[in-house]
Structure 1
Amino acid sequence: MQSDGQNNDGGGDAAVLDALAATSAEFGVPLLDLSAFDHASIPSGLLDEEIIRRYRVLPLRRRGGRLSIAIADPADLAQLDEIKFHAGTDIEGVLVQRAALGVAIERYCAGKGDRELAELADDDTHQVAASFGTSERAVDEAPIVKYVHDVLADAVAAGASDIHFEPYENAYRIRIRVNGILREASRPPPSVGPRLAARLKVMSDLDVTERRVPQDGRIKFSLASGGAHDTVDFRVSSLPTMHGEKMVLRILDQSSARLDVDELGMEDDQRDRYLGALDQPQGMILVTGPTGSGKTVSLYAGLKRLNNEQRNIATAEDPVEINIEGINQVQVNSRVGLDFATALRAFLRQDPDVVMVGEIRDRDTADTAVKAAQTGHLVLSTLHTNSAAATLGRLRAMGVPAFNVATSVTLIVAQRLARVLCPACRRPFPLSAEVLLDEGFGEGDVDAGIETFDAFDDGCHRCDHGYKGRTGIYEVVALTPALQRLILDDASALELAAAARTSGFIDLRRAGLSKVKRGITSLREINRVTARGES
């Protein structure tokens, strides 16, 4: 399957140029060949990088009171008005090829970063190190401090979930994870790597002098922007590597705790099953999937639904990522003997109605969770398995008796996260009936006609490379009497999955294809996060 649908025989380029010329004439906008433009002549400071990346435009020159900018869509008048507001001056659009504009933007922003990095390289190491112990003003004025601030602010603005600071023998790389995909953000000189790590450790109250062992900390970062993200929390992890300390920052999105079950992306029947299990006074709800699949968000959505003055709710988490008013949250600390099982046993002496355990990792935690679910408490937790059916086998492999599994577990949710196509620039991507059937669509759907879409790889000013945000893909299994009997008979995961389908169970693959059929995501994306026949 081609990823971009472009014609590479040379005729495609001529067609693109003809279309550009027609658009230029229609809107009265001058046309420019960016490949022949002297990028070095662009003055710095004409537009903020955040504005350039958000609106996918490039400042070219300022003449008198007018700023010329390269654009790919002259029809978007609202965008031009917004840029005019941010620029504080009149603007003139110059039409360019969209693909060339994307390359030029990256080149310009990389050059801007290079100029800032040159300041870092020229800065005296001892002067910056000394500033860590001096006045707040001195710290704020240090180039390394400004650079770290900009990296963190840019990552938040890009909607990143993680930032990686990575030292290598002859290079240093900063990457951010956006919509689940890592991409390079900057390459500072390797010589500044130790100072970047030191600055991050100072911000997170870690021991700057200890570089031999991993450390964990937390940063509360002020953007001072007056916007929706005035303060952002980061979870910080350091790791000693062959060539220095690697630092990874997880951006803790407080909005995750405000999501409702209706906003998770479940199919209607799946949502009803989840809500039904949450309404039960006792039992165990297990959410399963790989790291980064949104399990915690699904649990928080359930807790949000349960959180009221009539319920006593306690959670054991490692770590506590998001603070929730009205819920008693405990940070486990195995170094002092406070593990998940210990916290759970303590909860049971605190008159709980609902308990959440961050993860069931061992037999002790599993047995304690089962006991809680069997004695009048609602228990929510996670497991690392690939499917709902495999979760039951995982509990049995931990040593939990089949009877306890069958009588305590009420619902299993397996999930993945898939990127959502940008509605502004997604493009039709027709597929043959043979391909659709091979990918798992039903004959009835194919005969009725399925309109499929794909991402526009360059994206637009509203999105990130054709995608905007993520949605959940789920399979939700409620334990029926038939499934309970199979568990007692030690049935395999395949037998359990087959039995679940008879009660309307939708597996991960079919849930993903449903979102492809509705134009929410692309088949390419569903193939990335699920496998054919996955269940």
Structure 2
Amino acid sequence: LPQDGRITLRIGGRPMDVRVSTLPTGHGERAVLRLLDKEAGRLDLGRLGMSADTLAAFDTLVHQPHGIVLVTGPTGSGKTTTLYAALGRLDSTTTNILTVEDPIEYDLEGIGQTQVNARIDMSFAKALRSILRQDPDVVMIGEIRDLETAQIAVQASLTGHLVLATLHTNDSVSAVTRLIDMGIEPFLLSSSLLGVVAQRLVRKLCPQCRQPDPVAGGWRAAGCLACNRTGFQGRTGVYELFSVDDGVRAQIHRNAPENEIRAQARRAGMRSMREDGRRWVDAGVTSADEVLRVTRE
């Protein structure tokens, strides 16, 4: 049978969580390991790779008293890590912070974390309803997967709670379309949404062997013993921050087309993830090919 498990161990003196997933196949057991570095510094918002202006704007969003802040991207793009880091900017001694997750990836001190459990019919929606009776100031939702969860999140934000959540969309503005397609009324979304961060992870060039790229400019990967012949060591983020101002709010309220909302956001200064990645290319941190790879639509 397919199985899921969790291992806690120390590697090189550092605490690590390992998520294990096994699947029987025709040629034997297939196993996938997901490594979660529990080092506290990994959850520092300032170390995730945001530019100074994006970091300042995002920090302002997560300190609002109520509303919804979304982080979007595909699986494995670092969305949950960004949410955890955002919670770390808040004072858990004076702010009642509760989370609903599937699964709980990091244990956060001073924060009440709840894990959904399908076997006992503990869904995101049911857990959220229970959490809202616990008088929270901030609620983090691991993922908005259905209309019921989305409706509870919107109602919570309209009744004085700050809601942080993830959503699977390709960019920031399409989160608006996704929620409306789910069934959220545009007038409710326009009143509750504060902003959306879309993100991807790019591999960082190995500083030992990177080579100049005469075609695209900047540097390109090569490969050496230090990086196990991959040409890369570590990862960092590229981001697209969509802040909901009065102009965007009016467009959402009248259910304007996505391209109109995006044009308004661009006029207000929003950078695409590809444009954000240019700073890493110029700094020699990653290659132009790598930025194009992760931002390809």
Query: Into which bin does the TM-score normalised by the smaller protein fall?
Result: over 0.9
Residue number among 356, 359, 365 corresponding to 2:143 in the alignment: 359
> Could you tell me which amino acid in structure 1 is paired with residue 72 of structure 2?
T
Correspondence for 1:221: 9
1:491 aligned partner, one-letter code: A
Contact 1:361 1:383 in 2 (8 A): yes
What letter matches 1:316 in structure 2?
V
Match of 1:305 in 2: 89
TM-superposition CA deviations, 1:397-449 (whole Å, max 9, x none): 10000011111110100000001112232211123xxxx6xxxxxxxxxxxxx
| Pair 483,331 (structure 1): closer, same or farther in 2 beyond 3 Å | same
For residues 500 and 460 of structure 1, the distance between their equivalents in structure 2, rounded to whole angstroms, comes to 45
Q: How much does 1:256 deviate? A: 6.5
Matched residues in 1 for 2:211 and 2:143: separation? 40
Q: Distance in 2 between matches of 1:471 and 1:250?
A: 17
1:482 to 234, 244, 247: 247
Say what the alpha-carbon RMSD is for the aligned residues: 1.7
Opposite residue 480 of structure 1, the aligned amino acid is: D
Question: Quick one: distance in 1 between partners of 2:112 and 2:232?
Answer: 37
| Counterpart in the other structure of 2:292 | 527
Instruction: Please state if 1:243 is matched with 2:27.
Output: yes
Write the distance in 1 (CA, Å) between the matches of 2:9 and 2:271. Answer: 42
Letter in 1 for 2:238: I
CA distance in 1, matches of 2:79, 2:179: 18
Name the structure where helix makes up a greater proportion of residues: 1
The correspondence of residues 69-468 of structure 1 with structure 2, limited to 5 A, is 213-223=1-11, 227-229=12-14, 231-255=15-39, 258-431=42-215, 452-456=218-222, 458-461=223-226, 465-468=230-233
The answer to whether the 8 A contact 2:20-2:34 is kept is: yes
* 1:193-233 CA-partner distances (Å, limit 9, x unpaired): xxxxxxxxxxxxxxxxxxxx32222122355xxx322x432
CA contact (8 A) 2:208 2:224 kept: no
- The 2-side partners of 1:478 and 1:464 are apart by 40
**Alignment match of 1:473 (pick from 228, 231, 238):** 238
User: Once the 2 structures are TM-superposed, how far is the Cα of residue 464 of structure 1 from its aligned partner?
Assistant: 5.6
| Equivalent pair of 2:204/2:234 in contact (CA under 8 Å) | yes
Which secondary structure does the structure 2 equivalent of 1:349 belong to? helix
What is the deviation of 1:252?
Answer: 1.9
Shift in Å, 1:462: 5.8
Task: Give the SS at the match of 1:519.
Answer: coil
Identity, % of aligned positions:
48
Asked if 1 retains the 8 angstrom alpha-carbon contact of 2:205 and 2:285, the reply is: yes
TM-score by length of 1: 0.54
Alpha-carbon distance in 2 for matches of 1:246, 1:425: 33
Name the SS for the 2:255 alignment partner.
coil
Match of 1:499 among 261, 264, 288: 264
CA distance in 2, matches of 1:315, 1:257: 20
Aligned 1:21-60 pairs, distance under 5 A: none
The answer on whether the counterparts of 2:50 and 2:237 sit within 8 Å (CA) in structure 1 is: yes
* Contact 1:425–1:460 (8 Å) recurs in 2: no
Please state how far the C-alpha of 1:278 moved relative to its aligned partner.
1.1
Q: After TM superposition, what 4+ stretches of structure 1 lie above 6 angstroms from structure 2? A: none
Q: Deviations over 1:304-331 (max 9, x none)?
A: 1114310111111101111111111111
Query: Contact 1:307 / 1:327 at 8 angstroms: preserved in 2?
Result: no
> Take 2:33 and 2:49, find their aligned partners in 1: how far apart are those partners?
27
- Cα-to-partner distance string for 1:256-287 (whole Å, 9 max, x where unaligned): 77422211111222111100101111111100
SS at match of 2:278: helix
**1:234–1:389 Cα change, 3 Å:** same
Q: Which has the higher contact order (CA 8 A, sep 6+)?
A: 2
Distance of 2:192 and 2:293 partners within structure 1: 34
Partner Cα separation in structure 1 for residue 62 and residue 27 of structure 2: 49
Change (3 A) 1:464 1:254: farther
Output the CA distance in 1 between the equivalents of 2:119 and 2:252: 36
d(CA) in 1 for partners of 2:205 and 2:228? 9
Aligned counterparts of 1:242 and 1:257: Cα–Cα separation in 2: 42
Q: Is the 8 A contact 2:92 2:111 kept in 1?
A: no
- Give ranges in structure 1 of 5+ residues lacking alignment: 1-212, 437-450
Mapped partners of 1:256, 1:465: distance in 2: 27
CA contact (8 A) 2:72 2:196 kept: yes
* Residue 463 (structure 1) shift: 6.6
Larger Rg: 1
**Equivalent position to 1:509, from 270, 274, 284:** 274
CA distance in 1 between counterparts of 2:264 and 2:290 reads 28
| CA–CA distance in structure 1, aligned partners of residues 67 and 293 of structure 2 | 34
Paired AA for residue 84 in structure 2: Y
AA at the equivalent of 2:289: R
Cα deviation, 1:376-417, whole Å, max 9, x if unaligned, reads 111110000000111100000100000111111101000000
- The answer to whether the 8 Å contact 2:210/2:231 transfers is yes
- Give the direction of change, closer, same or farther, for the CA distance of 1:518–1:232 in structure 2 (3 Å limit): closer
